[in-house]
Chains A and B, each alone.
Chain A
Amino acid sequence: MSDLLITGARVLDGDATDVLVRDGRVAALGADASGAKGDAEVVDADGLVLLPGLVDLHTHLREPGREDAETIATGSAAAAIGGYTAVLAMANTNPVTDTGEAAERVLDLGRATGLVDVQPIGSVTKGLEGAELAELGLMHRSRAGVTVFSDDGRCVGDARVMRRALEYVRAFDGVISQHSQDPELAGPTACCHEGELSGRLGLPGWPAAAEATIIARDAQLSLLTGARVHVAHVTTAEGLDVVRWAKAKGARITAEVTPHHLLLTADLLAGYDPVYKVNPPLRPAEDVAALRAGLADGTIDVVATDHAPHARHDKEHAFVDAAFGMLGLETAFSVVHDVMVRSGAMDLAGLARVMSTAPARIAGLADHGRAIEVGAPANLVLVDPAAEVTVDRDASASLSRNNPYHGRTFTGAVRTTILRGRVTAAAGEAHA
């Protein structure tokens, strides 16, 4: 593999410098880098910022089972284009990732593609049924080394099952990522935020309390067991308050927010367009403001995409029947940069923390989310904070088109993604 010399990049908003990458690692910085350049391939990064490669703690890749919506290969390409060097693949595939063998298969498909490190998430319960524990220990012991477990798409609603899962993964410091939404409170037909608009539209909704009550319960179970709970996609000010309270109590709890919950609001549902149908649902502007504040003040640790590709025909049903979810990998950086950094709520170092360092730490990925220093693995991304990006759903590497940002313009673009010293995406194209 040839060396890379990245010239003139600002490293995490510092002064412009050169970075030499050799044998998959950062080999030299500054004058040392240009001095030792040799026949390195040069990446001109004038005006760009170099960050640790992004890490997505919450990606749906659909393989196995729904390869018409996304494959590990196409999802990896979308991730690389989006600036990611590692993604955690959710377990709700068909079959479910609930055994060591299933986890290894996802790992191997990711390696074969080679665009990002695909780390499988194991399910908490067999078949996501919520009743019996999946083979948590065997998944951890497998070559995949699973440490994050989730029934995402569904909430582990039974408190006793959740307690046992936490006790069990405590042995190897695993973490349960919970889709925090009481499955009983709103019933099986809920499809949006419960409020005045859902009343007018005649759509059954989830109240904010369905989220907050589960977070509170899981925080208590974390205190009881000493195990780590991760709140997937927190969406409400109430849920956020509970996270804040739980952290103050000393619970081992972390939380994530999606780019779409930082930007899009429930009123978009007025036209019944299923592209805005997502689970948990879009919330009112007050919640969006609270989530931005919670991300800026550190109550929320991570931004995760909840990238949820769906074949076109699965969205072309009546709103209540359409599939939940929206794309996110390719647009996450731009959305978060625009909403959080350009607005002044957080700096680029903060963005690197919530989109790279913290998710890598929670997932136990030692090679990702590292400070850019000599010897560190060269899992990197170059971004242009000044560039404007207009989203075109048809220019996506994903197999699906359920992109809620089609036609919107953001400030902040991903330019080049580097995995172990190799350029995996540049100028919006993945390099297999």
Chain B
Amino acid sequence: MSARHLLSVADLDAAGVRQLLDTAAEMHDVQRREVKKIPTLRGRTVINLFFEDSTRTRSSFEIAGKWMSADTINITGKGSSTSKGESLRDTTMTIAAMGVDAIVMRHMASGAAHQVARWLDESGSATRVVNAGDGTHEHPTQALLDAYTLERRLGSLEGRHVAIVGDVTHSRVFRSNLLSLPLLGARVTVVAPPTLMPSGARAWAEHDGWTMSHDLDDVLAQGPDALMMLRVQKERMSGGYFPTPREYTVGYGLTRPRLAAYLDRQPEGVILHPGPMNRGLEIAADAADAASSLVLDQVSAGVAVRMSVLYHLLAGGEGSAA
């Protein structure tokens, strides 16, 4: 990959995504070894700077770094969107000044990783930034691991149809997948109640060539190759986005009868969810645990994909990855 940082899937082109996924496949083999340790990033320091808690993503990056022999350090900061303590610039410039090679950053504010990368670049710092989720904007490594997981199961995504369902307005997973899936040749249908569609969705869909729907059953009847269920972000739900959880589930949940109807139509169909799941709300337990569910494959792929990203950002990309 050519970009200095990984802030957005928009930093990548199709070849860049391909390269990251191919390296992830090599890294995935390391995961199956008895001794899961390669020297690739020996002497490198990676800081996991998590202003917003996420055990899943933080552990995944931490394991990825450790298996490649990097020194990984976790810093969790309280940077609530109302607290006005030390500025984000001061916090991150201080950490970078310690000489770290990469900052893997999770922040509750959209664009935070972009801002930090700009401040670092302006100051001449060599530190790289990996966006591990910025507010309701993007989560590029999640999109990469989703693509990896889908390809492992379905083969090429060229011409495939993926439905992304749920709380899209608050979803960084949605925004990143909306960029990565078309790069791999897939077409996307986005399903959400009108209140959970992002602003300007109609014009956006027209510009970028995706389809918008408010009718999940109608979309399932088209037999998409994959269903990407999104978490309903209850913590962001102060605005009364839907009347009741019951109504949401009836309209947009992957319920047991809905799953049966879908698999009837599309026996090869698969289900993804970025986790953590609200079982019974956006996804029924039967769907989460079904043979067609790739939820745990996603988790496993996550480590491989993050190894690949750190490798390409920090190891210069020479020679074999693993």
Contact = CB atoms under 8 A, between A and B. Distances in A.
Contact of A321 (B88, B90, B207): B88
Interface of B: 79, 81-82, 84, 87-90, 107, 109-112, 114-115, 118-119, 134-138, 169, 172, 175, 198-201, 203-204, 207, 238-239
A187 B199 CA distance: 14
A224 to B, nearest CB: 31
Given A189-B81, A317-B84, A320-B81, A200 B204 contact: yes
B121 to A, nearest CB: 12
A272 B110 CA distance: 8
Contacts of A15: none
Interface of A: 187, 189, 194-203, 205, 207, 271-274, 313-314, 316-321
A198 B115 CA distance: 16
Given A318-B107, A321-B84, A194 B138 contact: no
Contacts of B204: 196, 199-200
B137 to A, nearest CB: 4
B200 to A, nearest CB: 3
Nearest to B205: A196
Contacts of A197: 200
A411 to B, nearest CB: 29
A343 to B, nearest CB: 28
Contact of B137 (A201, A314, A317): A201
A352 to B, nearest CB: 39
Given A316-B87, A317-B87, 15 more contacts: A194-B200, A197-B200, A200-B175, A202-B135, A202-B136, A202-B137, A202-B138, A203-B110, A203-B111, A272-B111, A313-B89, A316-B88, A318-B79, A319-B110, A320-B81
Contacts of A318: 79, 81, 88, 107, 109-112, 115, 135
A79 B301 CA distance: 59
Contact of A319 (B90, B109, B198, B200): B109
A205 B200 CA distance: 11
A205 B199 CA distance: 8
A283 B172 CA distance: 24
B199 A321 contact: no
A110 to B, nearest CB: 29
Contacts of A271: 114, 118
A313 B90 CA distance: 8
Nearest to A207: B199
Contacts of B138: 202
B90 A316 contact: yes
A198 B110 CA distance: 10
Nearest to B116: A318
B203 A196 contact: yes
Among B88, B203, B207, find the residue whose CB has the most chain A CB atoms closer than 10 A: B88
Among B87, B138, B172, find the residue whose CB has the most chain A CB atoms closer than 10 A: B87
